[in-house]
Amino acid sequence: MPDVLVLVDHDGEHVHKSTYELLAVARWLGDPAAVVVGSPGTAARLKDPLARHGATCVYSAESAEADEFLVTPAVDALELAVREASPAAVLVSATTDGKEVAGRLAARLDAGLLIDAVDLDSSGEVTQIVFGGSCTVRSQVTHGFPVIAVRPGSVEPEEHPVEAAERELALPPVDPAASARITARRLALAGDRPELTEASVVVSGGRGVAGADGFKVVEELADALGGAVGASRAAVDAGYYPHRFQVGQTGASVSPQLYIALGISGAIQHLAGMQTSKTIVAVNKDPEAPILALADYGVVGDLFAVAPQLAEEVTARRLGS
């Protein structure tokens, strides 16, 4: 079977869940081959978990400057892997960086580009969310090989242990004049909650939370469910919660098993980032709020009364079990 290249998302020590999802998708099309871009030694640390999730080959694209530039080293590595493997497809996570990598790679190699895929079949036909989440379409590349950016959370990862071969890719020097260099890094406090795009449960707050203090209710429910906290653009713009937690067209796209929206009206910009969630629960005082039409379960009521009761009941059941 042909190789299907998967760009590995990682923090240098651990593989992100979204990569395991991509490896599961890759098996539908061919033999998954993981491309690891990073500083020397990164691929060796990540090889075992990648093989455990089905990577039949691990391409190591390492250099001292790989972590010093945005996007360019990943594009270079994928280009080298494509020329060596002639893959059936290239898969990346549909994150901000992943979409840029996909677009630049497709432009370099005159390949077909499909963004925000939420499903695909063995023939390569892809289901996409387009036009800000207002339409779902089926697409297929008819020129060149497909470069597909898959929305995190769209597929459940699964272990599929194999023996992984190792291959090295010699990254070319990065041209500083044509690339964005990382000049500083600032660690963000992550706490004990899962990453927003990788969480199976997300609880988000909107303008109805009515302030930064109101987000304590959102956090308490998220913690009771073992989930991540999100926020609408309105809440972020109002300064209620940090921008990195924004869910929506200009924020993160999520597809958790459970999405709970507290005080979010449901503007199309927000729906574009969460409407592929498996189960959606909305709590809003306005019975005409657009999000209630999308939700699987809707509660018309005061979120400050509903959310604490739900958190209390979830905690009681957990302790009871």
Instruction: Check the annotation: does 269 bind a ligand.
Output: yes
Q: In the beta sheet, which residues pair with residue 168? A: 60
For the chain, give the mean pLDDT: 93
Residue for token pair 């189960």: 279
Given a cut of 70, whether residue 103 has pLDDT beyond it is yes
Given a cut of 70, whether residue 86 has pLDDT beyond it is yes
Instruction: Check the annotation: does 270 bind a ligand.
Output: yes
Q: How far apart are CA 287 and CA 268, in angstroms?
A: 17
Instruction: Check the annotation: does 201 bind a ligand.
Output: no
Instruction: Check the annotation: does 266 bind a ligand.
Output: yes
CB 260 within 8 A of CB 230: no
User: Which superfamily does CATH assign the domain made up of 3-178 to?
Assistant: HUPs (3.40.50.620)
- 189 pLDDT tier (thresholds 50, 70, 90): low
* Encoded tokens for 92: 């990346």
The per-residue pLDDT for range 119-145, each reduced to its tens digit, is 998 888 999 888 767 788 999 999 899
Per-residue pLDDT, 178: 82
β-strands 112-120, 146-150 pairing: parallel
Instruction: Check the annotation: does 39 bind a ligand.
Output: no
Instruction: Check the annotation: does 247 bind a ligand.
Output: yes
CB 36 within 8 A of CB 5: no
Instruction: Check the annotation: does 232 bind a ligand.
Output: yes
185 to each of 68, 86, 182, how far by Cα in Å? 10, 36, 8
Instruction: Check the annotation: does 18 bind a ligand.
Output: no
Fold of 196-320: Rossmann fold (3.40.50)
Helix axes 303-320, 215-225, angle to 10 degrees: 20
Fold match flag (3-178 vs 196-320) = yes
Instruction: Check the annotation: does 265 bind a ligand.
Output: yes
The per-residue pLDDT for range 204-235, each reduced to its tens digit, is 999 999 999 999 999 999 999 999 999 999 99
Instruction: Check the annotation: does 233 bind a ligand.
Output: yes
- 290 pLDDT tier (thresholds 50, 70, 90): very high
- Residue ranges per structural domain of the chain: 3-178, 196-320
Per-residue pLDDT, 321: 58
Instruction: Check the annotation: does 249 bind a ligand.
Output: yes
pTM of this structure: 0.84
Instruction: Check the annotation: does 284 bind a ligand.
Output: yes
Instruction: Check the annotation: does 246 bind a ligand.
Output: yes
